[in-house]
Amino acid sequence: MAPTLNIIGCGNVGKVLARLWCESGTYHIQDILNRSQESAALAADFIGAGRPARDWADLRPADVFLIGTPDDQVEAASAQLAQSGIVLAGTTVFHCSGALPSGALGAVKAFGASAASVHPIRSFAGPAEVAASFAGTWCGIEGDAVAVERLSLAFSAIGARLVRINPEYKSVYHSAAVFSSNYLVTLLDVAVEAYAKAGVPRDEALKLMEPLVRGTVDNVFRLGTTDALTGPIARGDLATVLRQYRSVSAWDRRVASLYKRLGKFTAVIAARKRKSSKRT
């Protein structure tokens, strides 16, 4: 008999993971507790297993609990689970938040449960498509040794690739995704506005930028950030950098401030690149 899994807050992440675990026989999906029985029933339909629970009192003990609530409700759900009386010594409880450490589950740990956090590093929009392509997904994992060992086996069974992270810097870890995704979009939006200021229509600016952006991203993943760096700072062409800064400042001081700050970080990468070149 596979270990039992209960899910508290079964949104897209919970639905995808549970469906994959159900199909692989990794877990027996037992109870699903959502804000309403209707949404829990829809989740069970997607998963192909699971019983919609009426309320906390309707939950049965399980080997593993996934708390899939929004981040700001994880600690409260952990406390309520602890108070329910169904958490036993040897139970594993985990959440999938990228921003919160496993310490957010302290309430259940006080009852002898082992706790962990496993954060799949991808978007879960379109659960059916995600379930079909989940294999190979990287997941950041941290927590108690027992929970980490058990969950590593469970996630590996559905094709996940796991990387251990330091819970002390969980929020910094999460910011990496913001830098590499959200802020990248912001920088490209600034570039579109700069092209627009020079008279390039915004839709054409995106087409103009596409080969440059795609080439840069490809080089980053092929060569690493240091060797992928090009441009005036990488060449040591400070006269061009200064001229650009003055022009941007005359156009928009906020963008000029961003340009200057990014230039300082870029100078560090350029110095690293020059040092690496000398060694080779």
Topology of the domain comprising 172-279: N-(1-d-carboxylethyl)-l-norvaline Dehydrogenase; domain 2 (1.10.1040)
Structure tokens at 61: 């003990």
Identify the pLDDT of residue 277.
81
Identify the pLDDT of residue 1.
87
Q: What is the mean pLDDT of residues 168-182?
A: 94
Identify the pLDDT of residue 280.
65
Classified as helix, coil or strand, 116 is: strand
Unique residue bearing structure tokens 């913001």 = 178
Q: Could you say which architecture CATH assigns to the domain 4-165?
A: 3-Layer(aba) Sandwich (3.40)
For the sheet containing 51-52, what is the strand order? 51-52, 28-33, 4-8, 64-67, 92-95, 114-120, 138-143, 161-164
Q: What is the mean pLDDT of residues 148-174?
A: 97
Structure tokens at 243: 């001229």
120: left (phi over 0), alpha (psi -120 to 50) or beta: beta
Interior angle at CA 87, CA 165 and CA 16, nearest 5: 55
Unique residue bearing structure tokens 């600690």 = 75
- pLDDT tens-digit profile of 41-83? 999 999 999 999 999 999 999 999 999 999 999 999 999 999 9
Q: What is the mean pLDDT of residues 80-88?
A: 95
- The domain segmentation of the chain, as residue ranges, is 4-165, 172-279
Res 255 pLDDT > 90:
yes
Res 279 pLDDT > 80:
no
- pTM, full prediction: 0.89
Q: What is the mean pLDDT of residues 93-114?
A: 96
Backbone angles phi, psi at 135, to 5 degrees: -50, 130
Going by the DSSP 8-state scheme, the letter that residue 198 receives in this structure is: T
- pLDDT tens-digit profile of 259-268? 999 999 999 9
In a 13 Å sphere around the CA of 104, the CA atoms on its Cβ side amount to 27
Confidence of residue 276 (pLDDT cuts 50, 70, 90): confident
